[in-house]
Structure 1
Amino acid sequence: MQKTAIVPGSFDPVTLGHIDIINRAAVIFDKVIVSVLNNQHKNPLFSVEERIELLQLSLKEQANIEIDSFDGLLIDYVNQKEADVIIKGLRAVSDFEYELQMASINRKLDDKVETFFMMTNPEYSYLSSSIVKELSRHGATTADLVPESVEKALQEKFTR
């Protein structure tokens, strides 16, 4: 039986930390769906379409990875995609506290869906999309933090 995992996130923008978690999940699961959350309550730098395109450029060599988007409840999306697992990357204890709460409510809504926590590579433990945007906004290089296509997209956004 094929095991499908969902890696949800805002990916605004995708970082090398995200890519690391996604690639590691792709080794473990038969199919990995990376899904961009379309959160109406946030004001993202990149549109959902731009984030999907940046993910596609960043993950183009992976045959078992699909890129998608969703809005609404994650558990509804997981069921719609007939996935078995939600993958969440953790950088620190503060991530764990929030993600444990989310995993617990998802488990209450559907006890057949598991949440797997993956610890980030220590190389990326400090990395967040917010930090990347702030660095780029002030002209600092992000070349060692994001894929090349993302760095170019950030430069375009902030030189406008």
Structure 2
Amino acid sequence: MERICLFPGTFDPITLGHTDVIDRALDLFDELVVGIGTNSTKTPMFPVEQRIRWIKDIYSHSPKVKVVTYEGLTINFCKEINARFILRGIRGIADFEYEKAIADVNRMMDSKVETIFLSCTPKYSTIASSLVRDVLRYGGDASQLLPEKVLNSIKSTI
């Protein structure tokens, strides 16, 4: 049975923290689906098409990485794509408590889908997309926060 894993998020934008988790998870799964979820409580800074393009560009060398968008419950989307695993990056204790609650509810809804937590590499543990958006919004230097392809793309549109 193929080990398909969903890494859900808004990826607005994809950060070095996200790529750290993806890169380290690649050896664990046969296929890693980066799922850009629609969150009704968030207004994205970047259009979904741009976020898809960034992820595809970054992982163009890796046939294991797929990028899709989805709406609704993550656990239901796992069923659609036959994912038996959900990947979540953990920056610290607060992330763990929040993510564990979600994992517990997901397990109640479908006990066949397991959530895998990967802790971030320490140098990326403070990076959050919301902080990156603030840095970008106010003209700060995001070079230590974003993959080069994303940074170059944003600079070319400014």
Instruction: With the length of structure 1 as denominator, give the TM-score of the two structures.
Output: 0.93
Task: Indicate the SS of the match to 2:51.
Answer: helix
Structure 1 counterpart of 2:100, one-letter code: L
Give distance in 2, aligned partners of 1:117 and 1:135. 27
Q: Distance in 1 between matches of 2:144 and 2:111?
A: 39
Q: How does 1:113-152 map to 2 (within 5 A)?
A: 113-152=113-152
- Which residue in the other structure is 2:44 paired with? 44
CA contact (8 A) 1:19 1:59 kept: no
Provide, for residues 50-107 of structure 1, a one-character-per-residue CA deviation record: whole Å limited to 9, x for no partner: 1111111122211211111111000110000001100000001000111011001100
Measured in 2, the distance between the counterparts of 1:149 and 1:16 equals 11
SS of 1:111 mapped into structure 2: coil
| Aligned alpha-carbon RMSD (Å) | 1.3
The letter of the residue matching 1:51 is R
Which residue is 1:84 aligned to?
84
Q: What is the CA-CA distance between 1:138 and the residue it aligns to?
A: 1.8
**Does 59-68 or 77-86 show the bigger shift?**
59-68
Q: Is residue 2:106 matched to residue 1:106?
A: yes
Q: Secondary structure at the match of 1:88?
A: strand
The alignment of Structure 1 onto Structure 2 pairs a total of residues equal to 158
8 Å contact from structure 1 (residues 4, 31) kept in 2: yes
Q: Is contact 1:15-1:145 (8 Å) kept?
A: yes
Counterpart of 2:34 in 1: which secondary structure? Answer: strand
Name the stretch that deviates more: 79-88 or 55-64.
Answer: 55-64
For structure 1, which segment, 11-20 or 139-148, has the greater mean C-alpha deviation from structure 2 after superposition? 139-148
TM-score normalised by length of structure 2: 0.94
SS for the counterpart of 1:62 is: coil
1:155: how far off?
3.6
